[in-house]
């Protein structure tokens, strides 16, 4: 099939760069992005674990060790050096691609496939983060030692976690919005609506991450950029309806394949993949939720009258004691909380 209409030269170069960068950033998805496939992505991860510290030391002149062990934070030096590598590799790929493919006038089909790849990746991520709120394993109810902590001793991120954890219905609501946007992205007819839902949700997420110093700023900003990328073709139609008071023509939805049988097979695979992502994400949250909801028999606030250790009384004790289960968020570092989601 011949691509048409002809694209402006700047648009062709821009597409080559965006395509190269997004593919580099998203890989090795779906391997590693789907629950229980981390082991399959290990060789790819080891490649970057060797390359990123070398680039940081030899190219960027970073004079301290760049850790490769994931500690829950998405804003490590490692992550920013890796993004630098993506930018350089995407620029190099764009240059080579432009030299070797000068005669092609447009990339309509390739653009369509890129949108499919970004849709599935963003949808999977949004469903995973949403599931950790719908079955709440992210923003726990504030434990007793947090409630006894003075306001001034709380970190910005700690305040956010206390605020969100104080209302489980609101946490479930935000998770449902994330899951809704993710699910809508899996179908072409609802992808535009899903992208707009994700833009609205992720704008708030990015602002929270920057405003409360949550160490997932770079990753959430990329997710927002992907949502904008998917929603961008609808901006003119939305402007016609909401701003210019004009008629908006229906969007043209082209099939992925020319053969109907292949399109039906793609539909079945997409629905199976969606069911697997939703099911495994909710199941993982459920299995994490069970031990979190349990408490030690000593959990509570105690007025201490006498404290005996090894048969001897202890004179210097606090007037009150609190006992919280060992798996509360306060037992984790602030950075490690990122591993549970936005």
pLDDT of residue 215: 92
At 273, list the tokens.
């993949």
- pTM across the whole model: 0.85
At 54, list the tokens.
């070398």
Other beta carbons within 10 Å of 241: 11
pLDDT of residue 139: 87
Q: Answer whether 292's CB lies under 8 Å from 140's CB.
A: yes
Q: How far apart are CA 227 and CA 232, in angstroms?
A: 8
Q: How far apart are CA 95 and CA 175, in angstroms?
A: 41
Q: How far apart are CA 137 and CA 288, in angstroms?
A: 7
Alpha helices in the chain (DSSP H): 9-26, 42-58, 77-100, 108-134, 144-147, 156-165, 168-184, 191-211, 217-231, 235-242, 260-292
Q: How far apart are CA 206 and CA 220, in angstroms?
A: 6
pLDDT of residue 291: 65
Q: Three-class SS of residue 167? A: coil
The model's pLDDT over 214-228, given as tens digits with 9 standing for 90+, comes to 999 999 999 999 999
Q: How far apart are CA 158 and CA 231, in angstroms?
A: 33
The model's pLDDT over 56-108, given as tens digits with 9 standing for 90+, comes to 999 999 999 998 888 778 899 999 999 999 999 999 999 999 999 988 999 99
If we measure between CA atoms, which residue out of 141, 140, 130, 111 comes closest to residue 4?
111
Residue where the block lists tokens 């992205």: 185
pLDDT of residue 312: 64
At 97, list the tokens.
């691609």
- In this prediction, the residues of the chain whose per-residue pLDDT falls under 50 are 1-3, 319-320, 323-342
pLDDT of residue 62: 93
Residue where the block lists tokens 């105690």: 302
At 41, list the tokens.
């992505």
Other beta carbons within 10 Å of 276: 15
Q: Answer whether 90's CB lies under 8 Å from 83's CB.
A: no
């Amino acid at each position: 099939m011949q691509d048409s209409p002809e694209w402006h030269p700047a648009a062709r170069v821009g597409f080559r760069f965006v395509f190269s960068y997004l593919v580099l950033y998203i890989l090795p998805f779906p391997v590693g992005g789907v629950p229980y496939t981390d082991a399959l992505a290990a060789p790819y991860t080891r490649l970057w674990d060797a390359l990123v510290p070398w680039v940081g030391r030899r190219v960027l002149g970073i004079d301290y060790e760049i850790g490769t062990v994931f500690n829950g934070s998405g804003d490590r030096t490692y992550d920013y050096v890796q993004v630098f590598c993506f930018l350089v590799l995407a620029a190099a790929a764009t240059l080579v691609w432009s030299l070797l493919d000068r005669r092609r006038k447009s990339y309509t089909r390739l653009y369509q496939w890129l949108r499919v790849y970004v849709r599935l990746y963003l949808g999977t991520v949004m469903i995973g983060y949403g599931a950790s709120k719908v079955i709440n394993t992210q923003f726990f109810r504030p434990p007793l030692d947090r409630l006894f902590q003075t306001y001034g001793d709380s970190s910005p991120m700690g305040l956010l976690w206390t605020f969100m954890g104080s209302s489980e219905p609101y946490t479930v609501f935000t998770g449902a919005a994330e899951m809704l946007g993710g699910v809508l992205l899996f179908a072409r007819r609802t992808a535009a609506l899903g992208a707009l839902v994700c833009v609205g949700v992720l704008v708030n997420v990015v602002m929270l991450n920057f405003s409360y110093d949550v160490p997932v700023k770079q990753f959430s900003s990329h997710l927002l950029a992907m949502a904008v990328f998917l929603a961008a073709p609808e901006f003119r139609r939305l402007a016609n309806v909401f701003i210019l008071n004009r008629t908006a023509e229906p969007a043209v939805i082209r099939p992925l394949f020319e053969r109907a049988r292949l399109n039906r097979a793609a539909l079945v695979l997409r629905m199976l993949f969606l069911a697997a992502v939703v099911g495994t994400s909710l199941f993982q949250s459920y299995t994490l939720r069970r031990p979190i909801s349990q408490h030690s028999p000593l959990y509570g606030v105690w007025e201490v009258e006498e404290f005996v250790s090894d048969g001897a009384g202890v004179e210097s004790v606090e007037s009150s004691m609190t006992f919280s289960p060992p798996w509360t968020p306060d037992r984790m570092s602030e950075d490690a909380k990122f591993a549970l989601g936005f």
